[in-house]
Amino acid sequence: MTEPPARSIWLRPERAGRGPAPTFDRDGIAAAGIALADADGLPAVTMRAVAVALGAGPASLYRYVATRDELLELMIDRVYGEISYAELGSGHWLDDLLALAWQSRGVYLAHPWLLDATATRTPVGPHAVTYLEHALAALADLDVRPRTKLEAIAIFNAVVSTLTRAEVIQRRAGQTIPQWQQAQAEYLTQVAMAGHHPHLATALTGQPPEAEDSSESLFERVLTRVLTGLLQPDDIGATSVHGRAEAEPPAAGPGASAAP
Amino acid sequence: MTEPPARSIWLRPERAGRGPAPTFDRDGIAAAGIALADADGLPAVTMRAVAVALGAGPASLYRYVATRDELLELMIDRVYGEISYAELGSGHWLDDLLALAWQSRGVYLAHPWLLDATATRTPVGPHAVTYLEHALAALADLDVRPRTKLEAIAIFNAVVSTLTRAEVIQRRAGQTIPQWQQAQAEYLTQVAMAGHHPHLATALTGQPPEAEDSSESLFERVLTRVLTGLLQPDDIGATSVHGRAEAEPPAAGPGASAAP
DNA sequence: AGGTACTGCATACGTCGTTCGCAGAACAGG
DNA sequence: CCTGTTCTGCGAACGACGTATGCAGTACCT
C-alpha cells in the first residue's frame, strides 16, 4: 500500500534513515553511468551494465532510482556540476553569457551523450537550476521583462547545443566514419547534382577550404548575433524590418493527416 | 552473400521489380506509423504494432525497411511533405523564412512526436531537402556567404522547434497533467522559495497574467530578432574581446555541414 | 516452361526495463 | 539485551521489443 511518492527524484530524500546503510549512493551510480556513456554512448547505459560496473546485482539500482529515466537525470545533473562560474561577473551580460556558453560547450564536448540526453528532456536538477540562476544573474541589470529573459536563455541553450552538436559531428568525421553519415552525404550531393535544387547545389559546392574561420570563432559569432538580436529592449523587434504588415499568423498549417 | 547495400534508404530503390508485387509500400507504412505516433506517441511505434495496423505479420516490415530507425525516417519525411510553400516568394527573405517557420510549427503541432524524432536525428529525406532548398532560395538575394546561410538555417530550425516544443508542453498542461511535469514545477518553486536563488525567484514570481502576449506573437517576435541578428552582413559581429580558455585547434574535416 | 528472385510470414533469439519475493542487517523501543 | 519493524541487496522471472532466419509461394525473365 505504499504508492504515493511519484514525485521527482530531487524531492525524494536520498536516505530514509531506517534500515541498514546503503552500499551505494546516487552520486556513485551517476558516475558509473557517466563512465559507461562516455565510453560507449547512451545506449550502453543499461540498468544491468551500470549494476555490474558497480558490482551490484542486476536489479539493485531500483533501490536508488525509480526508473532508467531517473538514472539519466542523475547523470545529466552530475555533469552540469562540472560547469565553472569563475569567469562570470564581468559586468557585461553578453560576456557573462558567452562564458556560460563556453562552459556548456566544454561539458558537451567532454560528454557528447549529453547532447542526446538533453535533446528531449529539460534538465531540472540542482546543478541545472544553479546554471539557470547564474544565467539570470547575468541578465539582472538588463531592462527586459523576466519572461523575455527566460525565453532568451531557453533559445540561448538551444543554440549552444545546436552549434556544439555540429562541432561534435564534424569532429567525429576525422576519426570514425559512421556508415549512415557517409550514406547521408552521398545522398545529399547526389540530390544536389540532380539539378532540381539549384540553391542547395551552390551552397554545397561553395568555397570549402578558403579562409574558413575556426569552429571557435563561429561559435562566438553566432551566439553574439543571436543574443544581441534576442535581447533588444522589449518595445522594438515587434515589427518587421520591411515595414511588413504586423503579426498576422498565416492560414493554419497543414491539416491533420492521420489516414492516407 | 548479399550484404553490400548499407546505404541510406533514400538511395535504395523501393522496388527491385523482380518478384511478386509487394503488398505494401513505403508511404503506406509511414502513414501507419504516423497514425500510431499521432495517437499514442513515438514509443507506440513498434515494428509489431505497425505491422498489425497494416494487417501484416510481425516481421514483414523488414522487407521494406532495414531497421526501425529507417521507419522513423520514412515517417519524418512524410510529415515534411505536409509543408506548403505557397506563401513564399514575397521578395523579403525575412517574410519568407517566417512563413516557413509557421509551416513548420503547424506540422509540429499536428505531429508532436516529430519534436522528439528530430531532436536527435537531422532529417535528410526528399521532402526535408526540398524544405532546405526553399529556405536557401529565400536567402538567395542576401549578400552573405553560403556557409553563413546554412548556419542560419540550422539555428533557425532549432529555434523553431524549441519555441514549438514549449508551446506543446504548455498546451498539454491544459488537458493532461503529466505526473513528472507537476513534480518538476513543484520542485522548481520549492527551490526558488528556499532563498538561495534570488534571480530565479523573481523570474518565476513575475507578473503572470498581466499583458501577456499570445504564443503566436512570441513566436514571431523571437524568430524575427534571432534572424535579424543572425543574418547581418558578414563583416560585423566577428570581433569579440573575451579572453577565454578551452580553445582547441580547428577540427580537420571540411565536409559535413549543418543541415535542416 | 523453368528458373530465379522476390514476396509474406511464423518462429525464435537475445536484450532490455521492470516487478516480485525473500533472506539478512540495522535501528527503535522496551 | 531482545524483538519487531523497516530497510537493504539480490536472484529469478515476466513481458515487450528489435531483429535474424528459414520456408513456402508467386510473378517476372529468358
pLDDT tens per residue, range B45-100: 999 999 999 998 888 999 999 999 999 999 999 999 999 999 998 989 999 999 99
Q: Give domain status of residue B243, yes or no.
A: yes
* Percent residues over pLDDT 70 in chain B: 82
Whether nucleic acid strand D comes within 7 Å of the CB of A16, the answer is yes
The answer to whether the CB of A111 falls within 8 A of the CB of A37 is: yes
Q: Give domain status of residue A130, yes or no.
A: yes
Q: Give domain status of residue A235, yes or no.
A: yes
pLDDT tier at B238 (50, 70, 90 boundaries)?
very low
pLDDT tier at B6 (50, 70, 90 boundaries)?
low
Q: Are residues A34 and A157 in the same domain?
A: no
In 3D space, the residue among A58, A76, A65 whose CA is nearest the CA of residue A116 turns out to be A76
The pLDDT value recorded for residue B85 is: 98
- Select from B48, B80, B112 the last residue of a domain: B80
Q: Give domain status of residue B195, yes or no.
A: no
Q: What is the DSSP letter of B205?
A: S
Q: Is the pLDDT assigned to residue A99 strictly greater than 90?
A: yes
Q: What chain A residue is nearest to B133 in terms of C-alpha separation?
A: A200
The reply to whether A7 touches chain B by the CB within 8 Å rule is yes
Q: Are residues B65 and B105 in the same domain?
A: no
The pLDDT value recorded for residue A30 is: 97
- Select from A80, A102, A117 the last residue of a domain: A80
The pLDDT value recorded for residue A238 is: 46
Q: Across the interface, do A206 and B155 touch by the CB < 8 Å criterion?
A: no
The reply to whether B179 touches chain A by the CB within 8 Å rule is yes
The pLDDT value recorded for residue A243 is: 42
| Count of CB atoms situated within 10 Å of the CB of A68 | 15
Whether nucleic acid strand D comes within 7 Å of the CB of B181, the answer is no
Q: Are residues A29 and A114 in the same domain?
A: no
Q: Are residues A169 and A236 in the same domain?
A: yes
CA distance B31 to B71: 10
Structural domains counted in chain A: 2
The pLDDT value recorded for residue B117 is: 97
Distance of CA A147 to the CA centre of its chain: 21
Q: Are residues A111 and A51 in the same domain?
A: no
Domain containing residue B32: CATH number: 1.10.10.60
Domain containing residue B245: CATH number: 1.10.357
- Select from A30, A53, A80 the last residue of a domain: A80
Q: Reduced to 3 states, what is the DSSP secondary structure of residue B29? A: helix
Q: What range does the domain containing B23 cover?
A: 9-80
Q: Which of B130, B162, B214, B230 to mutate to test the interface with A (most CBs of A within 10 A)?
A: B162
Give contacts of A 201-220 with B, CB under 8 A: 202-204, 206-209, 212-218, 220
The pLDDT value recorded for residue A240 is: 43
Q: Are residues B127 and B218 in the same domain?
A: yes
Q: Name every chain B residue with its beta carbon within 8 A of the beta carbon of A258.
A: 34-35, 38
In one-letter notation, the amino acid at residue A24 is F
Q: Are residues A39 and A118 in the same domain?
A: no
The pLDDT value recorded for residue A235 is: 59
Q: Are residues B103 and B38 in the same domain?
A: no
pLDDT in tens, A129-167: 999 999 999 999 998 888 888 888 999 999 999 999 999
pLDDT tier at B230 (50, 70, 90 boundaries)?
confident
In 3D space, the residue among B107, B69, B65 whose CA is nearest the CA of residue B260 turns out to be B107
Q: Are residues B76 and B97 in the same domain?
A: no
CA distance B9 to A183: 9
Q: Across the interface, do B199 and A174 touch by the CB < 8 Å criterion?
A: no
Q: Give domain status of residue A193, yes or no.
A: no
All three cell numbers of B244: 577565454
In one-letter notation, the amino acid at residue A254 is P
pLDDT in tens, B137-163: 999 999 888 888 888 899 999 999 999
Q: Name every chain B residue with its beta carbon within 8 A of the beta carbon of A116.
A: 120
Q: Give domain status of residue B30, yes or no.
A: yes
Q: Are residues A112 and A34 in the same domain?
A: no
The reply to whether B197 touches chain A by the CB within 8 Å rule is yes
In one-letter notation, the amino acid at residue A197 is H
Q: Give domain status of residue B62, yes or no.
A: yes
The answer to whether the CB of B110 falls within 8 A of the CB of A256 is: yes
The pLDDT value recorded for residue B108 is: 98
Q: Are residues A140 and A30 in the same domain?
A: no
All three cell numbers of B134: 526553399
Q: Measure CA to C1' and name the residue nearest D17.
A: B46
Q: Across the interface, do B151 and A218 touch by the CB < 8 Å criterion?
A: yes
The answer to whether the CB of A33 falls within 8 A of the CB of A74 is: yes
* Rounded alpha-carbon distances, angstroms, from residue A157 to A98, A101, A103, B70: 11, 8, 12, 29
CA distance B122 to A159: 15
CA distance B206 to B185: 15
Q: Are residues B61 and B135 in the same domain?
A: no
* CA contacts within 13 A on the Cβ side of A41: 2
DSSP state letters, chain A: --------TTTS-S--SSSSPPS--HHHHHHHHHHHHHHH-GGG--HHHHHHHHT--TTGGGGT-SSHHHHHHHHHHHHHTT---TT---S-HHHHHHHHHHHHHHHHHH-THHHHHHHHS---SHHHHHHHHHHHHHTTTS-S-HHHHHHHHHHHHHHHHHHHHHHHHHHHHHH---HHHHHHHHHHHHHHHTSS-HHHHHHHSS--STTPPPHHHHHHHHHHHHHHHHTS-TTSSSS-TT-PPP--PPSP--------
Strand C nucleotides, any atom under 7 Å to a protein CB: 4-12, 15-20, 24-28
CA-based max dimension of chain A:
72
In 3D space, the residue among A216, A88, A222, A214 whose CA is nearest the CA of residue A158 turns out to be A222
Q: Across the interface, do B225 and A232 touch by the CB < 8 Å criterion?
A: yes
Q: Give domain status of residue A227, yes or no.
A: yes
Q: How far, in Å, is the CA of A17 from the C1' of nucleotide C23?
A: 21
